[in-house]
Structure formats: C-alpha cells, structure tokens
C-alpha cells in the first residue's frame, strides 16, 4: 500500500526525518507516536505530497510520489491538524467544491457528497455556514473532505485536538468505522487513543523509527519482568515471609512495601519475563497460612513503553529548552542595555540641540540690541 524507503528531510543543519523506512499494509488502522519534533507531521506531509523530501522515496499503491504525484495523491485523503475549511461556505457548498477539486465527475458529485455526510453524521448541518458549527462538527466536516472520493488511504493528523470528551469518543468511533473499509494512519499524542483505536503502532524519535508492531504485541514484547503486588493480613505474616515469597519458582526478587496502617502488609514480587507466578503465590500463601487480601499484576502500558523509547528525545528537548531560555535571557539583557544606551543618546542629543538653539538665539538678541543703540544714536544725531 505505502512503501517508504530511506526517507530523509533536512531543514538546514536540522534533520527532521532521518533515513526512515516503513511499510504500510492495507486494511489496518496505524498509529504514529512520538514527542513534539519527532518528525511525525513531517513524515505525513511527505507521504501526502504536501512536502518534498530531501532524500528517499515514497510509493503509494505503486505510484511514486515524485514521478507520478497525481495518481499517488488520488489514493489519499488527508486531514491536517487544522481542518482546511472555508468558514463562509455552507457544508454542502464546501464538500461540492472539494468533490470538484478531486475531479469527481459532475454527475456523481451529489451522490458522493450525500454519502460522506451520512458517514460522518453531518447531514443535519449540511445547509449551515461552517463558521457557525461547533468544534466537533467542524472536525467531522474535515473528515468528510478527506474521505470524499473514497480514497484507499486516510491520513489524520491529531484529529481529536481541542475536542471535549464526548466529541473525542464520537471521532474515535468514526475512525474505527472508517478503518473497516480504508487504511487509516493516525497521528496522536493521546496514547489511550492510539491503544484503543489502532491495531499497529509506529513510534518515532528524533526522526527515526524506534519501534513498530501490533499494539498488543508491542506491549507484550516490551513489558519486561512481571510485577505482582500482594497484600497480606499483618497478623498472619511470619518473620520469614520474605524468604518464603523469594522461594517461589520464577520470582527474581521482592520488595517490602511496608505496613499501610490498617493491619495490612504489602509486597511487590518481580518475576522472570514471560512467567506468571500468581497461581504459585496463591498456593504458597494457603500452604503457609498467610491471609492473602489482594493480589494485582502490574502490566506496562503503551505510555510506559513510549516514555522509555523516547527518553533521549525528552532529555534533548529539556536541554534545548534550557538553552533557549538562556539565549532569551541574554537577548532580553542585551535589549535592555541597548534601550538604556538609546535613551542616554536621546537625552544627549536633546541637550546638544537645546544648547545649539540657545547659542543661535543669543547672537540674535545681541544683534537686536546693537541695532537699537545705532538707531538711538542716529535719532539723537538728528535732533
């Protein structure tokens, strides 16, 4: 469906996408995960043809995005993070306009518009101006323009940003429905959304692919050792309880979590990878007379995996932020010094101007006095 080979995008010395290789098969909902600046949106823009790559190759359904862009783009419906809407158009006018841009035959446009309105649930607002719609409905109109013309691939960049919880659920359900007939590529920072909607995950860090697999398989592969938290009734705990728990087959080590103040003592048991120790824990507790009040297995979430794989990116981001703040402080200090210098120069200039005006005025007054004396002498002479 989509083949990405050695994709690279540079902005001067900054590498946004670094030798990225991906294969996207039909019939799945793919999730793109990564911190800000990881290269997700840049990759999506290159796949859709909105942005040219510095190096590498993108093929969509066998069409090279550089050599045959018209056919390649015809296979894609794209919803950017900010929907490309015209607020002064009605929904119907806008979607008809989009259908024309996508070269849908005139005789088929009305049917195509009606179909996407029904699919996205916007038929009841088709006659309203887009500017008067709620955020949720605007997002639905954006989805409608992406799927009109029935493209094989739908690319959605942060489709639930700024929506309230009810609207997020609606959009998620809509994406799930679209995934039944289309290949969907979804970029999001909401990890629960990716795990709930997507069947396959790509995690990108610093422009590179650091992990990819089916969502459940990725969490299984990255989960590491199993952790089991147990709570025992304090009155039944023995002095050698720690040793008893440590002797359970498959237990690597244990942590005592202490007394919770309610007559209960907690332990955390770390087991070997792919080893479920819960049945053994229950059996040894019953055998040794330990009253087991609670036992809970701790599993790693997609968020834990994401944070682990992108830890270097977060550290680099923090360093860049500190450097930026330092540069900003230095700039502000420099601007303050410049402003003070300019103020001093202005005051000096005003002083010099005042003195110049004064010096010009004084000779004039002296000249006037001299003329008055001459006139008095002349007049006196006449008398």
pLDDT tens track, the chain, 383 positions: 899 999 999 999 999 999 999 999 988 999 988 877 788 889 999 999 989 999 999 999 999 999 999 999 999 999 998 899 999 999 999 999 999 999 999 999 999 999 999 988 899 999 999 999 998 899 999 999 999 999 999 999 888 887 888 888 888 888 998 888 899 999 887 777 788 889 898 988 888 888 888 877 776 665 656 788 889 988 888 888 888 888 888 888 888 888 877 788 988 888 877 778 888 889 988 988 989 988 888 766 666 666 666 766 555 544 443 444 444 444 445 554 555 555 555 555 555 555 555 454 444 444 444 455 445 545 554 44
Specify whether the CB–CB gap between 159 and 83 falls below 8 A.
Answer: no
Helix (H, G, I), strand (E, B), or coil: what is residue 302?
helix
pLDDT score at 117: 95
C-alpha to C-alpha distance for 27 and 18, rounded to whole angstroms: 27
Domain with CATH 3.40.50.300 in the chain: 2-221
Helix (H, G, I), strand (E, B), or coil: what is residue 239?
coil
pLDDT score at 376: 54
Domain with CATH 3.30.70.260 in the chain: 224-298
Specify whether the CB–CB gap between 141 and 122 falls below 8 A.
Answer: yes
pLDDT score at 326: 42
C-alpha to C-alpha distance for 12 and 15, rounded to whole angstroms: 8
pLDDT score at 206: 86
pLDDT score at 374: 46
pLDDT score at 349: 57
Q: Where are any strands of DSSP class E within the chain?
A: 2-11, 14-24, 29-33, 55-60, 63-64, 76-79, 153-157, 183-187, 200-205, 208-214, 227-233, 251-259, 264-271, 292-298
In CATH terms, the fold of domain 224-298 is Alpha-Beta Plaits (3.30.70)
Those residues whose C-beta lies under 8 Å from the C-beta of residue 158, and which sit 6 or more positions away, are 81, 187, 188, 189
pLDDT score at 364: 43
Task: Output the CATH code of domain 2-221.
Answer: 3.40.50.300
pLDDT score at 332: 47
The sheet with strand 63-64 has its strands ordered as 14-24, 2-11, 55-60, 63-64
pLDDT score at 58: 94
pLDDT score at 319: 42
Whether the full predicted model's pTM is greater than 0.85, yes or no, is no
């Amino acid at each position: 469906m989509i083949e990405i080979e050695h994709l690279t995008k540079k902005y001067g010395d900054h590498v946004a996408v670094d030798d990225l290789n991906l294969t996207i098969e039909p019939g799945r909902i793919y999730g793109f995960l990564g911190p800000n600046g990881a290269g997700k949106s840049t990759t999506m823009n290159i796949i859709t043809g909105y942005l040219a790559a510095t190096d590498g190759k993108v093929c969509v359904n066998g069409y090279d995005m550089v050599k045959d862009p018209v056919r390649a783009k015809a296979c894609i419906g794209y919803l950017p993070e900010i929907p490309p809407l015209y607020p002064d158009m009605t929904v119907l006018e806008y979607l008809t306009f989009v259908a024309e841009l996508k070269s849908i035959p005139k005789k088929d446009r009305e049917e195509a518009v009606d179909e996407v309105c029904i699919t996205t649930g916007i038929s009841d607002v088709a006659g309203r101006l887009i500017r008067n719609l709620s955020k949720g409905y605007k997002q639905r109109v954006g989805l409608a323009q992406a799927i009109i013309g029935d493209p094989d691939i739908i690319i959605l960049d942060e489709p639930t940003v700024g929506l309230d919880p009810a609207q997020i659920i609606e959009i998620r359900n809509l994406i799930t429905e679209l995934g039944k007939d289309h290949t969907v590529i979804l970029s999001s920072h909401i990890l629960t959304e990716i795990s709930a909607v997507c069947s396959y995950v790509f995690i990108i860090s610093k422009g590179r692919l650091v992990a990819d697999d089916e969502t459940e398989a990725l969490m299984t592969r990255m989960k590491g050792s199993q952790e089991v938290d147990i709570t025992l009734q304090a009155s039944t705990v023995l002095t050698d309880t720690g040793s008893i728990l440590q002797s359970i087959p498959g237990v690597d080590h244990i942590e005592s979590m202490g007394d919770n103040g309610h007559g209960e003592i907690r332990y955390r048991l770390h087991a070997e990878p792919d080893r479920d120790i819960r049945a053994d824990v229950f059996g040894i507790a019953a055998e040794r007379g330990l009253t087991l009040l609670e036992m809970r297995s701790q599993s790693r979430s997609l968020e834990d995996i994401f944070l682990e794989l992108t830890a270097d990116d977060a550290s680099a981001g923090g360093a860049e932020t500190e450097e930026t703040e330092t540069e900003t402080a230095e700039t502000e200090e420099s601007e303050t010094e410049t402003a003070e210098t300019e103020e001093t120069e202005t005051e000096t200039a005003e002083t010099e101007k005042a003195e110049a005006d004064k010096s010009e005025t004084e000779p004039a007054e002296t000249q006037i006095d001299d003329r008055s004396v001459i006139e008095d002498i002349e007049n006196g002479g006449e008398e």
